[in-house]
Amino acid sequence: MTNTSKTSKAGPAAGPAARPSQPLVEAANERQATYHLDTQRNSERAIAKPAHRAAQGDKREQIVNAALDLFVERGFYGTAVPEIADRAGVGAGTIYRYFESKEALVNAIYRELKLQFSHAVLDDFPASAATREQFRSLWTRMAKFAVDNTNAFIFLELHHHARYLDAESRAVEQRMTGLITHVVTASQARGDLKAASPRLLMGIVIGAFVGVIRSCIEVDEPLASADWVLAERCCWEAIRN
């Protein structure tokens, strides 16, 4: 009797769980779909914003690259701003958002390339090495830069910039010249190079180097095809003591 009474108090055995109605299921699915859509849109916005900023930054690079190509092909005075804009694929007014004038543009290019050239040639320079090894290192680094960045080297060394270079650009040029002059004078003090004006010795070397470049350009051959090793030996013989 006692067992029967407890069973009746517990109530009937639980049946299968009741299923939600169809309208509730549809509403839940709709909320879930909306959540995923909003999440996707937010992700797209997050991706699109940096991409937009990157595109804005790319415009300056497009302008610089187009201007460099045209300055090499036609010279500074033979290149007009609308031609740069057309080559870069931007409006002429866009150029003035980044550079005040064509002179400001050419100076920016000159400084950037000159600094790249300076770093390529002088960074980790073997200051304690013998003069012969120092000269070979300088020549080899210059040749590598010219081969890898032909337009940049042509622009820097085969064009006359004096009329439009500003004080900042001249300072960059003078710093690099000063560092190489120090290498030359130190080598002369050791008796390894001819007792001549450092500018003269440097002029002999850079003149020969540019001559190698011209010998390739004039016959439309890649700079890598030049006999840089032989040219280096000839230059060394010209300046060594």
User: What's the CA gap between 91 and 97, in Å, rounded?
Assistant: 10
Cβ(183)–Cβ(132) below 8 Å: no
Q: How confident is the model at residue 4 (pLDDT cuts 50, 70, 90)?
A: very low
> How confident is the model over 204-232, as pLDDT tens digits?
999 999 999 999 999 999 999 999 999 99
Joined tokens for residue 118: 């300076």
Whether 153 shows a pLDDT value over 80: the answer reads: yes
Write the secondary structure of 16-59 as one string of H (helix), E (strand) and C (coil). CCCCCCHHHHHHHHHHHHHHHHHHHHHHHHHHHHHHHHHHHHHH
Q: Tell me, what's the pLDDT at 157? A: 86
Whether 13 shows a pLDDT value over 50: the answer reads: no
Average pLDDT over residues 179-189: 97
User: What's the CA gap between 155 and 175, in Å, rounded?
Assistant: 19
Joined tokens for residue 106: 């050419």
Average pLDDT over residues 171-197: 96
User: Using alpha carbons only, how large is the chain's radius of gyration in Å?
Assistant: 35
Write the secondary structure of 130-175 as one string of H (helix), E (strand) and C (coil). CHHHHHHHHHHHHHHHHHHCHHHHHHHHCCCCCCCCCHHHHHHHHH
**Residues of the chain with pLDDT > 90: what percent?**
73
H helix count then E strand count, the chain: 10, 0
Q: How confident is the model at residue 55 (pLDDT cuts 50, 70, 90)?
A: low
Q: Tell me, what's the pLDDT at 24? A: 44
- CA 49 to each of CA 35, 37, 54: distance values in angstroms, whole numbers, following the listed order: 21, 18, 9
Whether 9 shows a pLDDT value over 90: the answer reads: no
Joined tokens for residue 68: 């460099």
Structural domains of the chain in order of their starting residue, each with its CATH number: 24-96 (1.10.10.60), 102-239 (1.10.357.10)
Whether 137 shows a pLDDT value over 60: the answer reads: yes
> How confident is the model over 62-105, as pLDDT tens digits?
999 999 999 999 999 999 999 999 999 999 999 999 999 999 99
Q: Tell me, what's the pLDDT at 238? A: 97
Whether 17 shows a pLDDT value over 70: the answer reads: no
Q: Tell me, what's the pLDDT at 53? A: 39
